[in-house]
Structure 1
Amino acid sequence: MEFYVYDNYDEVSKYAAKMVSDFVNEKPDCVLGLATGETPIGMYKKLIEYNREKLVDFSRVKSFNLDEYRGLSGSHPQSYRYFMDKNFFNHINIDKHNTFIPNGICEDVKKECSDYEDKINEAGGVDLQILGVGSNGHIGFNEPSLELCVYTHLTNLTEETMKANSRFFKSGEEVPDKAITVGIGQIMKAKKIILLASGTKKADIIGRLFSGKVSTENPSSILQVHPSVAVIVDKDAGALI
């Protein structure tokens, strides 16, 4: 794994955006795997700037997001479709028909998961996967467990993850307890991975990411065996390395 430490979140976002834009410029029809949450927002803002300045062109890019809350429609303000449109897609020259996110209100969850997996494979797989990481080590919504799922699946969210997500909802009762997520196998099939982390709350899990040990209780630890991973953090998140 490559490891990059920057002074602050803004520098992390700038470097990550430069890495993504360089990748897209080298392969204009690439497939991007995208993440939601607070961590990648700064990167998305920089990529919007680069696109407006015509430094990067997303017109031929396809994207697949990692996950979506079960029970939320794409128009719900806390859905990940809404998040991606608001923070990225609405501001760049990507074809919205080429942006894919699981359908959180589908009737047949098993079919939705299978179809989503097929769509990624039919697109040729993910060329560049962006990841955040939870304080408990989850990537996508692959939570710590005795077993990890290889394929796209419906998962139960842990109490820790729900608590972390609760700040985005009006009340704890509104926080979804399930999500559709791309599995570990599909993440590991990506040709290149960029993992972003910022802040002291992520220091412990980033330290464990470089332990040399792989455990299903820390899903992010599997990234140690991927051939091309760039971990980009600020000084606070990288304090234990």
Structure 2
Amino acid sequence: MQVIIVDTPEEAGRVAAEEVAKVIRRVGPGVVLGVATGSSPLTTYEALVDIVRSEQLDLSQASAFALDEYVNFPVDHEQSYTETIRRTVTEPLALDPARVHLPDGLADDLAAAGAAYEQAIREAGGIDVQIMGTGSNGHIGFNEPGSSFASRTRPVKLAAQTREDNARFFDSIDEVPEQAMSQGLGTILDTRTVVLIATGEGKADAVAGIVEGPVTAMVPGSILQFHPDATLVIDAEAASKLQHLELTRDLRK
């Protein structure tokens, strides 16, 4: 695990975008991106758009797979992840919408929809680089504390803390969906490269658990300690509860 500590959220976005761009340059036009929603990746997407445009990187054959989508939630709602990915990823990066995929949260058989999503990822050749954030409770995707390390794309119940955190995107917490479809921790471990962005004091406990804590299902992001090519880009506030800060800084390549 590589840990990169920077001063500001804006710098975190630029550094994370460069990590993603390294994979795009290496793989080429057919790169398979893993994309996420939430506030954490936004500066990364903005910086990545700048890199793609300035270097004229070819994404004409690129595919993208989102980590998650709400269950029984209109896909045309402005807070659906379908719409969020369209606004923040598909259109700014000029990706082919037909190559941008999300789990089907409206399916009659959610388990079958999860299996179909896993199959689609396999048929695309697997995810080359997964962009993600983490929740304040250490979840990645919507893999809440207690999730199986072997889990695959499936319907999940959102933790109360996650719904409270996401209420800022809605008029009230009552509007926040209670379930979502999420890639599993096993799915995430299969990605070739992971770039996780965490900024702000509110993510400090999660970062400490992911980086320095034991690998435990109660901090789902801690499984990234087992990933062969995971990079965490965090700002000073998110790093504030790390107990071995100098050792952590030495992990930067």
Q: Which TM-score band (shorter chain)?
A: over 0.9
Who is 1:25 aligned against? 25
Who is 1:99 aligned against? 100
Q: Deviations over 1:70-102 (max 9, x none)?
A: 112321111011001111211222111111011
Letter in 1 for 2:105: G
Letter in 2 for 1:10: E
**Paired residues for 1:178-197 under 5 Å:** 178-197=179-198
Q: d(CA) in 2 for partners of 1:75 and 1:45?
A: 23
Question: Contact 1:68–1:179 (CA<8 Å) still a contact in 2?
Answer: yes
Secondary structure of 1:19's aligned partner: helix
1:163 equivalent to 2:160? Answer no
Question: Contact 1:142–1:148 (CA<8 Å) still a contact in 2?
Answer: no
Letter in 2 for 1:183: G
Q: d(CA) in 2 for partners of 1:106 and 1:219?
A: 26
1:145 to partner: Cα distance: 1.6
- Change beyond 3 A, Cα 1:5–1:114: same
1:10 equivalent to 2:10? Answer yes
Q: d(CA) in 2 for partners of 1:15 and 1:146?
A: 30
Who is 1:50 aligned against? 51
1:25 to partner: Cα distance: 1.5
Who is 2:143 aligned against? 142
Letter in 1 for 2:22: D
Q: Deviations over 1:120-142 (max 9, x none)?
A: 11111111111211110100000
**Paired residues for 1:72-111 under 5 Å:** 72-111=73-112
Who is 1:200 aligned against? 201
Q: d(CA) in 1 for partners of 2:56 and 2:116?
A: 34
Who is 1:34 aligned against? 35
Q: Share of identical aligned residues, percent? A: 35
Which TM-score applies when normalising by structure 1? 0.95
1:54 to partner: Cα distance: 4.1
Q: d(CA) in 2 for partners of 1:221 and 1:54?
A: 34
- Structure 1: any 5+ residue segments left out of the alignment? none
1:148 to partner: Cα distance: 4.9
- Change beyond 3 A, Cα 1:18–1:117: same
Q: d(CA) in 2 for partners of 1:144 and 1:204?
A: 14
Who is 2:217 aligned against? 216
Secondary structure of 2:212's aligned partner: coil
- Change beyond 3 A, Cα 1:5–1:66: same
1:224 to partner: Cα distance: 0.7
1:27 to partner: Cα distance: 0.8
1:108 to partner: Cα distance: 1.9
Which contiguous aligned blocks of 4+ residues in structure 1 show a shift greater than 6 angstroms?
A: none
Which TM-score applies when normalising by structure 2? 0.91
Cα RMSD after superposing both structures? 1.4
Q: d(CA) in 1 for partners of 2:70 and 2:213?
A: 32
Letter in 2 for 1:76: H
Secondary structure of 1:210's aligned partner: helix
Q: d(CA) in 2 for partners of 1:201 and 1:207?
A: 11
Question: Contact 1:157–1:178 (CA<8 Å) still a contact in 2?
Answer: yes
Who is 2:128 aligned against? 127
Q: d(CA) in 2 for partners of 1:91 and 1:230?
A: 24
Who is 2:114 aligned against? 113
1:175 to partner: Cα distance: 0.7
Q: d(CA) in 1 for partners of 2:150 and 2:175?
A: 26
